[in-house]
């Protein structure tokens, strides 16, 4: 999440949602999430417009930004914070819009291309041509042992999913207009998408590309800024520019996945199976069920946010104005929930 206030330029969670990193006008800051705690900051005497933390490690990906960028916007810096030095620089021909790290890959998103580099020797693995992607939309699973990546490929709502270790890919006709947000669960078995009107979120099974469920966000147009899952995909969280965090139960999804012959479990790398053909196209028949309604809602003051969901039913939202919100839902009742704790990411000046 970028274009923030109060000296903040960018906010993102690390892959397992244990830490939050913030790019600022003079460097970056790192926080633990549960319990919420400021860990440290690095003063770099320049703005960091994009930051990505590699799991809970000392490795960060940095892109310059703000009023006085530390680095040019077409350059990605791989930073070792333990040694406080640059490990490598990746210079692109256009500005970087998004950045993701895996333990073995650096994934750089520009407006019409995705660049995938190996963490070993920093070699370019491939360059991917995409649809014009002004928001840097990309989805990535969080399991460190393999990579499942999704990205938009056409203005008509087509999505491509790549599973690198199996050299497999598939295309899904997810919407009728441009996809603006993608979420992939930890084990890479589910992908959720939202298009530019933000009315619905559609969930597909990556194992066979089939449509599973459609969830209704609302009837008015909205920008979906974040789709996230808890570790075991019991819940899916949605943030939009409407000042709400919405939580959906994934019970109906897993029932349909299991009815289709797939098992609900974290699959080891050698057990995940995509279609036999290298490229397959799937078009879903979208039909809503009674299970598509929002299970829980949390009202926040700000419009833009990202959220993280934990297996103890804690919901964390971090907002564009630098607020940390903690709520807890009742998994049996649902409904509207109040915030039980708030914090300022950067303490206000007295």
Q: What are the 10-residue block averages of pLDDT along the chain, 350 residues in total? A: 69 94 96 92 95 96 96 97 95 97 96 96 95 95 95 95 91 94 94 93 90 89 92 92 90 78 47 36 43 82 86 90 91 87 78
pLDDT at 170: 92
Residue 37, Cβ density class (10 Å: 0-12 exposed, 13-18 middle, ≥19 buried): exposed
Backbone angles phi, psi at 166, to 5 degrees: -100, 0
What pLDDT is recorded for position 284? Answer: 43
Q: So what's the pLDDT on residue 261?
A: 55
Cα dist. 333→77, 141, 310, 337 in Å?
46, 29, 17, 11
Distance CA 281, CA 21 (A): 37
pLDDT at 292: 62
Q: Please give the model's pTM, rounded to 2 decimal places.
A: 0.89
What is the reported pLDDT for 219?
Answer: 86
> Cα angle vertex 109, ends 15, 167, to 5°?
75
Domain range summary for the chain, segments of one domain joined by +: 1-129, 135-350
- What is the domain class of 1-129 according to CATH? mainly beta
Quote the pLDDT of residue 263: 53
Tokens of 152: 């938009």
**Measured distance CA(331)–CA(295) in Å, rounded:** 9
Count Cα neighbours of 201 within 13 Å in the Cβ-side half-sphere: 33
Q: For domain 135-350, give the fold.
A: Methylamine Dehydrogenase; Chain H (2.130.10)
To 5 degrees, how large is the angle CA 232–CA 210–CA 115? 75
Q: Where are the alpha helices (DSSP H) in the chain?
A: 251-259
pLDDT in the model for residue 291: 52
């Amino acid at each position: 999440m970028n274009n923030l206030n109060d000296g903040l330029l960018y906010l993102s969670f690390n892959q397992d949602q244990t830490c939050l990193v913030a790019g600022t006008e003079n460097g970056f800051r790192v926080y633990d999430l549960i319990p919420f705690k400021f860990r440290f900051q690095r003063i770099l005497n320049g703005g960091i417009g994009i930051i990505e933390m590699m799991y809970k490690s000392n490795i960060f990906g940095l892109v310059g930004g703000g009023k006085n960028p530390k680095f040019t916007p077409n350059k990605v810096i791989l930073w070792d914070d333990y040694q406080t030095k640059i490990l490598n620089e990746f210079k692109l021909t256009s500005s970087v819009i998004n950045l993701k790290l895996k333990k073995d890959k650096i994934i750089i998103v520009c407006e019409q291309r995705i660049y995938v580099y190996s963490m070993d020797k920093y070699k370019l693995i491939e360059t991917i041509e995409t649809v014009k992607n002004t928001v840097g939309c990309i989805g990535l699973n969080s399991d460190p042992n393999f990579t499942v990546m999704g990205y938009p490929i056409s203005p008509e709502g087509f999505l491509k999913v790549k599973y690198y270790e199996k050299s497999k890919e598939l295309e899904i006709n997810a919407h009728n207009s441009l996809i603006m947000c993608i979420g992939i669960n930890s084990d890479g078995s589910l992908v959720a998408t939202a298009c530019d009107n933000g009315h619905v979120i559609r969930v597909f099974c990556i194992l066979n590309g089939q449509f599973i469920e459609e969830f209704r966000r609302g009837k008015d147009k909205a920008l979906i800024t974040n789709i996230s899952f808890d570790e075991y995909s019991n819940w899916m969280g949605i943030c939009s520019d409407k000042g709400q965090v919405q939580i959906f139960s994934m019970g109906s999804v897993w029932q349909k996945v299991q009815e289709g012959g797939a098992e609900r479990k974290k699959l080891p790398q050698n057990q995940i199976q995509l279609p036999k053909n290298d490229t397959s196209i799937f078009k879903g028949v979208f039909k809503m069920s009674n299970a598509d309604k929002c299970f829980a809602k949390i009202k926040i003051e700000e419009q833009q946010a990202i959220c993280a969901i934990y297996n103890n039913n804690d919901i964390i939202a971090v907002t564009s104005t630098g607020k940390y919100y903690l709520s807890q839902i009742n998994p049996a009742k649902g409904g509207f929930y109040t915030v039980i704790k708030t914090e300022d990411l950067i303490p206000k000046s007295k």
